[in-house]
Amino acid sequence: MFAMPREVPHLAIEDLFGPPVRTRASISPDGTRIAYLAPWRDRLNVWVESVDSEAEARCVTADGNRSVLTYHWTDDPRWLLYEQDGDGDENWHIHRVDLDDPDAEAVDLTPFPGARVISFEPLVTRPGKAILSLNRRKLTEFDLYELDIATGDLTMLAENPGRITGWLCTPSGDLYAQTLTADGDIELSRWDAGTGETHPVTTFDGADYPLGVQPYLCTPDGTGVWFGSNRDGDRTRPARLDLATGEETVVDSHPLFDLDTRSTVFPTLPSPLIRDRSTGELIGVRYLGERQVIHPLDPHFAAVLENLEKLSDGDLSAISSDASGQRWVVAFTHDRDPGVTYYYDHSTGESRPLFRPMPSLEPETLAPMTPVTITARDGLALPSYLTLPVAAEPAGLPLVLLVHGGPWSRDSWGYNPVVQLLANRGYALLQVNFRGSTGYGKAFLRAGIGELAGKMHEDLIDAVEWAVGEGYADRDRVAIFGGSYGGYAALVGVTFTPDVFAAAIDFCGPSNLVTFLRTVPEFVKPQLVNNWYLYAGNPDDTEQERQLRTRSPISRVDEIRTPLMVVQGGNDVRVVRAESDQVVEALRARGIEVEYLVKDDEGHGFVNPENNIDVYRAADRFLARHLGGRPDTR
């Protein structure tokens, strides 16, 4: 345990929201180099250094506009790939870097205006190749391509006839397609590229998979698919689907926890399926409850895992190994020591720390995050997390209810800069996994159907009552703060229950569910059937449109009397700027002050550090005015 200081230093917003010194390291397949992200011109770029020599690290990308967040080693030591969009528009392109030529510029391998790459994966079984889905032909349809990494050649493997929602290509080149039935179920079929005919393999209940079947990976031999299954049970566990027979076989399970599928929403988080770098075989599985549990499925990885878990009392997050499985680079999730990263050599037993991403943040100055369970008014148990200020009396504190996005996501244990900022300023933080959150079983997920601005919001109010009843929170000093769905929840809070909150911050949240659903990207709309249409309603149906309007904060905007701050990305394609504009305009028309921050070079969630610093400095001062915290006065 970390010792608690007598006095807590005032943490600088720049230290919390500025770029890390280093982050997201991984080792090359040949085990000779480590890549990581670090600042170049105040933007994260990819750097490469030697594992064994003291040679100076080299920056191999040069994006001065927007941070690089995702990169990929390839099996050829010459090439490294990275993904980048344009100012948050989510039109992801694949870029290639020549590691043998430091002066060569990166090459955009998918240089098609307005198009985006999804489901990109370098292939272990086909050296030099990668599979991707791309909408270059028609923006509403994603075709399947094979990319030759060295030449940049793109070969279309299958043209989408307009009804395919996902593709699978086996190592032998057999194709499988996912489609949605009229009832919203997900049908997997073998695809005949010559005729376009489909041959059904199996069907998944769409209501069990609001964001699609995840994870979903072809086995190396091409005869099956590993996927997250909750068929005939409440918990999601890894299963193998036989592509010839449609038979499912459970691979592993946990008696209490679901697979950790957070990477479905946050692709920078690790997959729940841990695979061998060389063969692609499944060697481990991640589950997530209050904390993470990893089940090794391979004797060698079991021995490696035993030693890796001794390096930190955090949860093992990103891991990578060389092709031999001997040299490893690993990072850890921790509430007070974020992203600490180590090198480990299994052949010698040697380990050494590589870096702490934020060395200016000392663990003893940060607040511990404690799992708690709150009982909703109808008896449903709500897994939650409570963070209290360090070295402060945990009684009668101003409280910030921090609501996660999605809503098909979840809060989890680990470092969160927003939590640490506000805890440092004297607030208690409460994060609630309300009904409809993922990761707590099928029944908990489905309990959110039809409950937007209903029981999903009541869960949040019940959590506030719990914090007040336990003595942690001052009932008169409670704020609600969230992004995306959490922003919607903040707006619901100040329109449906205006007496509960003393302040609210909405970050890119929908204010009108009808206009929100009508302005999402066209290619997304067919996939709304198992999430927004099921849980909230379809605006093309007259009665459901009426229900959507009654559940929309804009319908009760006249009820707002709570101080409100709104933050919006001007380039947001998920929740367009009009969703924030209409709330702000309605309030200003009534002469009500609302603080409004728009960043035109950001999308749905901010990346550039100067923008995040601006937002959280404003949020710091806003909450201090209305809740009585101790803001940064610089």
194, 156, 154, 201: which is closest to 177 by C-alpha? 201
Report d(CA 12, CA 421) in Å as an integer: 8
Q: Which residues lie closer than 8 Å to 525 by C-beta, 6 or more apart?
A: none
Query: Could you tell me if 273 and 217 are in contact, meaning their C-beta atoms sit under 8 angstroms apart?
Result: yes
Active site includes 484? Answer: yes
Other CB atoms within a 10 A radius of the CB of residue 52 amount to 9
Report the alpha-carbon angle 86-91-94, nearest 5.
Answer: 90
CA–CA gap between residue 397 and residue 630 (Å, rounded): 12
CA distances from 553 to 113, 490, 511 (A): 35, 9, 5
Torsion angle of alpha carbons 277, 279, 284, 287, nearest 10°? 80
Q: Which of 484, 552, 555, 580 is catalytic?
A: 484
Q: Is 454 helix (H, G, I), strand (E, B) or coil?
A: coil
For residue 156, how many C-alpha atoms fall within 13 Å in the half-sphere facing its CB? 11
Indicate the burial class of 313 (C-beta count within 10 angstroms; 0-12, 13-18, 19 or more): exposed
**Catalytic, out of 258, 604, 620, 626:** 604
**Distance between CA atoms of residues 258 and 249, nearest Å:** 17
Q: How far apart are the first and last CA of the chain?
A: 33
CA–CA distances in Å: residue 398 to residues 297, 340, 562, 611: 46, 31, 16, 26
Interatomic CA distance for residues 307 and 310, integer angstroms? 5
Asked if 142 contacts 110 with a C-beta cutoff of 8 angstroms, the reply is no
What is the C-alpha separation between 59 and 65, in angstroms, rounded? 15
- Please indicate whether residue 189 is annotated as part of the active site: no
How far is the C-alpha of 485 from the C-alpha of 365, rounded, in Å?
Answer: 31
In Å, what is the CA distance from 504 to each residue of 366, 403, 479, 490? 24, 11, 5, 6
Closest CA to 434 of 398, 458, 416, 418: 458
Distance of CA 570 to the CA centre of its chain: 21
Asked if 73 contacts 28 with a C-beta cutoff of 8 angstroms, the reply is yes
Q: Reply yes or no on whether 72 is catalytic.
A: no
- Annotated active-site positions, please? 484, 572, 604
